[in-house]
Structure 1
């Protein structure tokens, strides 16, 4: 896998051209932003700036979202310009999260461990009514409100071939979750990747990963991507995922705006 070629393809398909249901894709002269109705989170996903244009672009986005009284996220990638873009955002009041590694698997070269049937009880959800099992895992793992899952992901489940959600069960109890979004082009994205603390160390994360890799392979998807944090990074690296860049989520909220929904 030529990582530079894959990164260029990722930038084009997953940052500039991608479309999201229920969001407005707005292509501006030097950036692409996605706007979701409140209380959902909007975001800037791609920018092509330099030292001379960055501050003005930041000011324009702040003014735009301040007028809407909506929070938004600016996702900064390690290869974006200028090199200090994240620091410029921090200076304007954005809160920076820890960087994630953007990792890619060449699905055709997936290792045998990800292609074998898992020993764990992993099921793909077919009915939005089952999303209670997803929320039952996510809320204790992350300590946040995931009630938005019912409307947003329930709606996405109704779209043909767009979203696949998998849950790992232990004696009938939902213990781990992970899902895949399929977009036109060469990539599908892995998200979720959460296991209840009481069930960690049993291979559930890997079993959920394997189920999604097998499905993507059956669907002819060339590449799988994951925004890998510190906990998942070594696991997926052992299974053939390679880092193509790093991304930092930079979040801004106007005064008096409460917590919104996840951008995932």
Structure 2
């Protein structure tokens, strides 16, 4: 598949038709939103808007989620229309996060990832204790709480264990690197997450090994496309390993009620 075909497939399977455990999918006026059923934040995963409809659509989503007392993230891709959508969201008080590269890899027989030997230090996590090890790892690396991530992984592993593949590399009984993958049933895609490594264990091949073990699990389960939102740090590594850059995405987080009031009085 070429770039345009991959984007079209990604839009359909990962943005438009996507169902997420713990969320209610709703479609309205060219919008696809995911409403959290567990008290977390919601998402706008897809929009097909015009210069004439964008203003109303943004106000509609803000009002709708405010009624639910739920913050939400509008996941914007640089090919989304209208071209000034990011500016419009900014005008309405959204916080625009740093861009992330949308990368896709098409797995084929003979790929390096599928033949890469996985070190014995990397194991699949299947219980709450292992997830707690990962939370401790993430908190040590980033210096902030990752409690919600732990709760999400525990919940998803319990509700749908066959679609979530969590891996960690251990040294002396301690998790030093970790990553996970969701296999999206009914689609062609596995999505990759995590990949954090303690500084003293970097440049030892753990990141590549965690990529490979997930690629092999995806292949064994019949999935041929891997997708990841890549930071500037990981993007060149992923491209070197066979991923193609399709676009850039921006996490756009809705303003709070108080922030909306301040905007209204400006």
Alpha-carbon shift at residue 68 of structure 1 (Å): 2.4
* Poorly superposed stretches of 4+, deviation over 4 Å: none
1:152 aligns to what SS in structure 2? helix
Alpha-carbon shift at residue 128 of structure 1 (Å): 2.2
Q: Which blocks of at least 5 consecutive residues in structure 1 are unaligned?
A: 258-264
Equivalent residues of 1:74, 1:251 under 8 A apart? yes
Alpha-carbon shift at residue 39 of structure 1 (Å): 4.0
After the TM superposition, which residues 121-136 of structure 1 pair with which residues of structure 2 at under 5 Å, given as runs?
Answer: 121-136=121-136
For residues 113 and 257 of structure 2, what CA distance do their matches in structure 1 show?
49
2:192 aligns to what SS in structure 1? strand
Residue in structure 1 matched with residue 138 of structure 2 by the alignment = 138
For residues 225 and 110 of structure 1, what CA distance do their matches in structure 2 show?
19
Matched, 1:99 2:99: yes
Moved more, 201-210 or 151-160: 151-160
1:21 aligns to what SS in structure 2? coil
Equivalent residues of 1:70, 1:253 under 8 A apart? no
For residues 35 and 110 of structure 1, what CA distance do their matches in structure 2 show?
41
1:174 aligns to what SS in structure 2? strand
What is the number of equivalent residue pairs in this alignment? 257
Residues 147-178 of structure 1 deviation map (CA, whole Å, 9 limit, x = unaligned):
12343211211214110100011232101110
Alpha-carbon shift at residue 107 of structure 1 (Å): 1.2
For residues 198 and 15 of structure 2, what CA distance do their matches in structure 1 show?
31
Alpha-carbon shift at residue 122 of structure 1 (Å): 0.7
For residues 12 and 198 of structure 1, what CA distance do their matches in structure 2 show?
41
Alpha-carbon shift at residue 37 of structure 1 (Å): 3.8
Residue in structure 1 matched with residue 233 of structure 2 by the alignment = 231
Moved more, 143-152 or 47-56: 143-152
Select 1:200's aligned residue among 199, 202, 216.
202
1:24 aligns to what SS in structure 2? strand
When the two structures are superposed, what TM-score results if normalisation uses the length of structure 2?
0.91
1:145 aligns to what SS in structure 2? coil
Matched, 1:181 2:182: yes
Q: Quick one: higher RCO (CA 8 Å, sep 6+), 1 or 2?
A: 1
Residue in structure 1 matched with residue 263 of structure 2 by the alignment = none
Alpha-carbon shift at residue 88 of structure 1 (Å): 0.7
Residue in structure 2 matched with residue 85 of structure 1 by the alignment = 85
For residues 183 and 149 of structure 1, what CA distance do their matches in structure 2 show?
19
Residues 60-118 of structure 1 deviation map (CA, whole Å, 9 limit, x = unaligned):
11111222232111011111000110111011110111111110111115632553113
Residue in structure 2 matched with residue 19 of structure 1 by the alignment = 19
Residue in structure 2 matched with residue 163 of structure 1 by the alignment = 164
Moved more, 225-234 or 245-254: 245-254
Alpha-carbon shift at residue 142 of structure 1 (Å): 2.7
1:26 aligns to what SS in structure 2? strand
For residues 22 and 110 of structure 2, what CA distance do their matches in structure 1 show?
33
Q: Which blocks of at least 5 consecutive residues in structure 2 are unaligned?
A: 260-266
Q: Specify whether residues 194 and 110 from structure 1 end up closer, same or farther in structure 2 by C-alpha distance, changes over 3 A only.
A: farther
For residues 192 and 83 of structure 1, what CA distance do their matches in structure 2 show?
30
Alpha-carbon shift at residue 12 of structure 1 (Å): 0.3
1:5 aligns to what SS in structure 2? helix
1:108 aligns to what SS in structure 2? coil
For residues 162 and 240 of structure 2, what CA distance do their matches in structure 1 show?
28
Equivalent residues of 1:110, 1:240 under 8 A apart? no
